[in-house]
């Protein structure tokens, strides 16, 4: 009876998707991200190296609307190259390949920021379910499940020692009116926070340098638990 109630209320959908995403993908690839970024940095010494950005930036649009081509989502996001592949035998598949794409993000001052970025693919499942009559998944339920997916994945990754400091979750709600460069600004905001974190760490390593560490509460995205979407942050972007 409890199982049937859970199925009817769809309470287990986002929870299961988050765990599947972690166990079947993130736990495999995240420990390799820094090594791949370091190899790219050595091969491209002319590009600025901010080690705090050497992680996988995972986009979580709460609308679950995902672009297969990031360059079409925002013209300020340009593909650069693929990072070093990870090849494993997985579930009967010989030499299964896992890889990430590196992008150059142009900010409002025409400065380039390089990072590995991709969508959280399980959100495609939530979106497809809301479009399929058999799933009987409403738009409101999809939004709540997307929020639950984010919170669950965040908690899972926080408890994962092997994935520590290898990722950045970027959860956001798109504006009601379309903005051409909303996504690139959202990504750059996070890259700037990581850059500030690196500067703060360097300053803390010198006792005579004043600390400019940011309050962690300023860096954490807060997802509203109310029925209506709420702003994830109020930094002016």
Name the least confident of 11-15, 54-58, 83-87, 149-153: 11-15
Residue 26 belongs to some domain of the structure: no
CA atoms within 13 A on the CB side of 215: 3
Question: So what's the pLDDT on residue 7?
Answer: 47
Total domains in the fold of the chain: 1
Question: So what's the pLDDT on residue 202?
Answer: 64
Range of the structural domain that residue 134 is part of: 31-203
pTM, entire model: 0.80
Find the mean pLDDT for residues 71-77: 95
Q: pLDDT band at 2, cuts 50/70/90?
A: very low
Question: So what's the pLDDT on residue 95?
Answer: 87
Residue 213 has pLDDT above 70, yes or no: no
- What distance in Å separates the CA atoms of residue 58 and residue 187, rounded to the nearest whole number? 10
- What distance in Å separates the CA atoms of residue 107 and residue 1, rounded to the nearest whole number? 53
Angle between helix axes 122-131 and 139-158 (nearest 10 degrees) is 160
- What distance in Å separates the CA atoms of residue 127 and residue 66, rounded to the nearest whole number? 9
Q: pLDDT band at 26, cuts 50/70/90?
A: very high
- What distance in Å separates the CA atoms of residue 62 and residue 14, rounded to the nearest whole number? 12
Tens-digit pLDDT profile for residues 81-103: 999 888 888 888 988 899 999 99
Cα separation values, 188 from 33, 103, 137, 147, 196, Å = 19, 12, 33, 22, 12
Name the least confident of 73-77, 153-157, 228-232: 228-232
Find the mean pLDDT for residues 122-140: 82
Residue 21 belongs to some domain of the structure: no
Residue 226 has pLDDT above 50, yes or no: no
- Based on its alpha-carbon atoms, the radius of gyration of the chain, rounded to whole angstroms, reads 19
Mean of the per-residue pLDDT values of the chain: 82
Instruction: Specify the higher pLDDT residue, 24 or 221.
Output: 24
Q: pLDDT band at 132, cuts 50/70/90?
A: confident
Find the mean pLDDT for residues 105-133: 91
Instruction: Specify the higher pLDDT residue, 222 or 211.
Output: 222
CATH number at residue 140: 3.40.50.12100
Tens-digit pLDDT profile for residues 170-197: 999 988 887 889 999 999 999 999 988 7
């Amino acid at each position: 009876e409890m199982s049937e109630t859970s199925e009817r209320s769809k309470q287990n959908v986002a929870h299961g998707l988050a765990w599947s995403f972690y166990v079947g993908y993130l736990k495999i690839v995240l420990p390799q991200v820094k090594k791949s970024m370091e190899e790219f940095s050595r091969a491209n010494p002319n590009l600025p190296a901010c080690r705090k950005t050497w992680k996988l930036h995972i986009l979580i649009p709460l609308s679950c609307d995902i672009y297969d081509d990031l360059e079409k989502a925002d013209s300020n996001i340009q593909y650069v190259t693929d990072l070093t592949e990870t090849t494993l035998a997985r579930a009967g598949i010989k030499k299964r390949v896992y890889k990430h794409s590196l992008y150059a993000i142009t900010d409002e001052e025409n400065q380039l920021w390089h990072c590995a970025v991709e969508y959280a693919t399980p959100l495609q499942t939530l979106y497809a379910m809301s479009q399929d009559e058999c799933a009987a998944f409403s738009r409101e339920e999809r939004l709540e499940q997307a929020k639950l997916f984010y919170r669950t994945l965040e908690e899972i990754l926080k408890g994962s020692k092997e994935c520590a400091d290898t990722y950045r979750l970027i959860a956001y709600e798109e504006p009601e009116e379309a903005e051409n460069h909303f996504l690139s600004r959202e990504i750059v905001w996070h890259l700037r926070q990581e850059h500030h974190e690196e500067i703060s760490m360097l300053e803390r390593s010198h006792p005579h340098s004043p600390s400019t560490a940011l309050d962690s509460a300023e860096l954490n995205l807060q997802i509203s638990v109310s029925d209506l979407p709420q702003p994830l942050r109020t930094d002016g972007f």
